[in-house]
Amino acid sequence: MMHDPKWSMLSYVDPDQADGGDIKLFSRPAIGLFHFIKGSFSIRDTTVQKCMSVMHADNLPERQKFSAEIVGYEKIGRVTPNIHLEFLTYWAPPPVAGRDFCFLVTRKEVDGSTWIYGTSVDYKQCPKTSAYVRSSSMWCWQLTQVGEHVLLQYYNCFNPRGWAPRFIISWLKSSVANELRAARAVVNGKAFTVEKT
């Protein structure tokens, strides 16, 4: 998926471009019900560890600093010292139902980069409710320290499941862009107001 030649750049312009913002978004054709989004950007004057502590915090208040749509987060437990389970719930614009996810998440170091992977799993401690639609996703982050800056690549393959009108896919992709912007600001200690799109 990562090196698929079918990826094409979206017409997204980083609103913070004048201050060095370099977010680029990509998509590729859907495969059945699965849609794809890729993001590439850098965060200046920081470290991989600082990015991790913000973007992969294990509590809801920290994650809500850069995600307007997240309404629930629970780290369920560890499977191994390097693999854990997460249960997340997200708001969606009405009349579309919110989505929830049960992820198996791991982290490893490869060729000077930190990789974080997540994949949806069916697990009894992530209870399904009528309030949310259980969606599925496979995602990963690559974080690479380059001097005083961190280069980040984000990939996501997702199936929203349930009723998902055409606009919701575009909304999901714009939501990713907003989260990347907000995460960059939070890592750099800048004020940023997250708003539902």
Encode pLDDT of 41-93 as tens digits: 999 999 999 999 999 999 999 999 999 999 999 999 899 999 999 999 999 99
pTM: 0.93
More confidently predicted of 76 and 169:
76
Task: Output the CA angle 166-68-44, nearest 5 degrees.
Answer: 105
